[in-house]
Amino acid sequence: MTTPAILLAVLRRELARAGTPERAAGAQAYMKSAMPFHGLDTETLRSVCKTVFALHPVTSAPRWRKDVLAIWRGARFREERYVAIELAGDRRARTFQTMASLPMYEEMIVTGAWWDTVDTLASKRLGEILRSEPAPMRKAMRAWSRGENMWKRRSAILCQITFKKDTDLDFLFACIEPSLSSKEFFLRKAIGWALRSYAWTDERPIVRYVEKNRTRLAPLSIREALKNVR
């Protein structure tokens, strides 16, 4: 069985082989990242992951979490963190998306602390836990939404972003509420994005919510929320 250290070494070698210096420099500048890039596009990165992961077993939740965190913590290039997120979403780990995995995602969100990693974790990985264990996950996300960490707050707001008609609006509004007065750009943007996402399904409750809270919502949040409203 491949050890986490060997897995990371193989991934790093394949990522470096597939990357380009020009793309790496541009990506690092765009992301304002202190961590360097290998320089891969998303399609190539996922191809590398598919090839390497096919040879790596995903057999138990504890081992899977250990491997994900080993890659995340050991990452020296930013795409290596993207790879950890890819392994976290491996289809073989679908049944592992439970509350037991929330501490792993919490660590990744707090230490990642930037939208390129946080938003994927929030919208996809946290969303899966919310679907599988809605009651305890709602309780946890409400607590996150009231906490001091901005990225956990953003994650709580965005965890239903892909739910469409299955969105629990009362829960969404509850997660937004503690951040309504925040001046943080990433919270204001998340509020607008989450509202706009549901407006694609039904714009009426979003219009009502914006009108009711217009004096409390930031102009940015309002613009984003109503961007596609007819």
Q: What is the pLDDT of residues 92-141, one digit of tens each?
A: 999 999 999 999 999 999 999 999 999 999 999 999 999 999 999 999 99
On whether both 49 and 118 belong to a single domain, the answer is: no
On whether both 161 and 186 belong to a single domain, the answer is: yes
On whether both 126 and 208 belong to a single domain, the answer is: yes
- Looking at 96, 123, 152, the residue that finishes a domain is 96
74 sits in which H/E element: helix 61-74
On whether both 119 and 230 belong to a single domain, the answer is: yes
- Looking at 96, 131, 150, the residue that finishes a domain is 96
Range of the domain at 50: 1-96
On whether both 90 and 113 belong to a single domain, the answer is: no
Q: Identify whether the C-beta of residue 193 lies closer than 8 Å to the C-beta of residue 226.
A: no
Side chain identity at residue 70, one-letter code: A
Question: Is residue 164 very low, low, confident or very high in pLDDT (cuts 50, 70, 90)?
Answer: very high
Closest listed residue to residue 141, CA positions, set 193, 93, 176, 113: 176
On whether both 41 and 144 belong to a single domain, the answer is: no
On whether both 136 and 228 belong to a single domain, the answer is: yes
Question: Is residue 152 very low, low, confident or very high in pLDDT (cuts 50, 70, 90)?
Answer: very high
Tokens of 52: 């390497």
Tokens of 178: 């503690």
Closest listed residue to residue 38, CA positions, set 50, 53, 20, 52: 20
- The three-state secondary structure class of 173 is helix
Query: Is 80 exceeded by the pLDDT of residue 2?
Result: no
What pTM value is reported for the model?
0.95
Reported as a single tens digit per residue, the pLDDT across 207-219 is 999 999 999 999 9
